[in-house]
């Protein structure tokens, strides 16, 4: 059973400094070092936290790659939760679970005309190898089994529900369209059934 391993207070944000708490865990199914970032709400009546499961994306989160919308989604989440409170489950599942080096190989195939799913399939991987079991374990370790989920991805909704997490509301993120990622977003909608307004 997963338990909170350590907690530290820290500041987070790109354009502003927001108070948050960073938590590590032990007892998770794999040895991946997932973390939770807790944003406290001034409104103590918010018993059902807003939660985002954000899969690590080095190219998007750190370098704001033109190929995806991950960094912008993370920035949007931090801004929203800085105002309203919430929990980011930052999951070490780079490239929808295929890893960083394989994702770079998939980028090369995308440059040759494949979409993001076709590239993963060409490399011998499924559409999405992410497993959200540990996200549910992290929520339980936080004493949370009822949430509002910030996502456009039906896979996240369905998996969390299958692990016994009650989703009171699904809140969509914005569509972060920029030069270089429109075909990526269209593939997420057509192939991954993401609820995005493009």
110 has binding-site annotation:
no
130 counts as catalytic: yes
Catalytic residue (one of 61, 67, 69, 130): 130
151 has binding-site annotation:
yes
137 has binding-site annotation:
no
69 counts as catalytic: no
Contact 19, 37 (CB under 8 A): no
Catalytic residue (one of 43, 75, 128, 131): 128
Q: What angle do CA 4, 8, 14 make, to 5 degrees?
A: 120
116 has binding-site annotation:
yes
Place of tokens 């309203």: 84
169 has binding-site annotation:
no
168 has binding-site annotation:
no
Nearest alpha-carbon partner for 71 in 55, 89, 84, 92: 55
Contact 73, 156 (CB under 8 A): no
Residue 79's Cβ-count burial label (10 Å; 0-12, 13-18, 19+) is: middle
53 has binding-site annotation:
yes
Per the annotation, binding residues for Zn(2+) are 57, 68, 70
User: Which residues form the catalytic set?
Assistant: 128, 130
Per the annotation, binding residues for GTP are 52-56, 73, 94-96, 116, 151, 156
Per the annotation, binding residues are 52-57, 68, 70, 73, 94-96, 116, 151, 156
């Amino acid at each position: 059973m997963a338990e909170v391993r350590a907690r530290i207070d820290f500041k987070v944000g790109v354009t502003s400094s927001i108070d948050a708490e960073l938590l590590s865990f032990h007892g998770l199914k794999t040895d991946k070092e997932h973390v939770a970032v807790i944003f406290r709400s001034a409104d103590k009546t918010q018993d059902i936290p807003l939660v985002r499961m954000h899969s690590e994306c080095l190219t998007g989160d750190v370098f704001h790659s033109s190929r995806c919308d991950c960094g912008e989604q993370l920035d949007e989440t931090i801004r929203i939760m800085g105002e309203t409170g919430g929990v980011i489950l930052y999951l070490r599942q780079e490239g929808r679970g295929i890893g960083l080096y394989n994702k770079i190989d998939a980028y090369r195939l995308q440059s040759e005309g494949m979409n993001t799913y076709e590239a993963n399939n060409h490399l011998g991987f499924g559409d999405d190898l992410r497993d959200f079991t540990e996200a549910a374990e992290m929520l339980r370790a936080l004493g949370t089994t009822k949430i509002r989920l910030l996502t456009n991805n039906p896979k996240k909704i369905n998996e969390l529900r299958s692990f016994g997490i009650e989703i009171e509301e699904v809140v969509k993120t914005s569509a972060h369209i920029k030069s270089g990622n429109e075909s990526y977003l269209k593939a997420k909608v057509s192939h991954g059934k993401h609820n995005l307004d493009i």
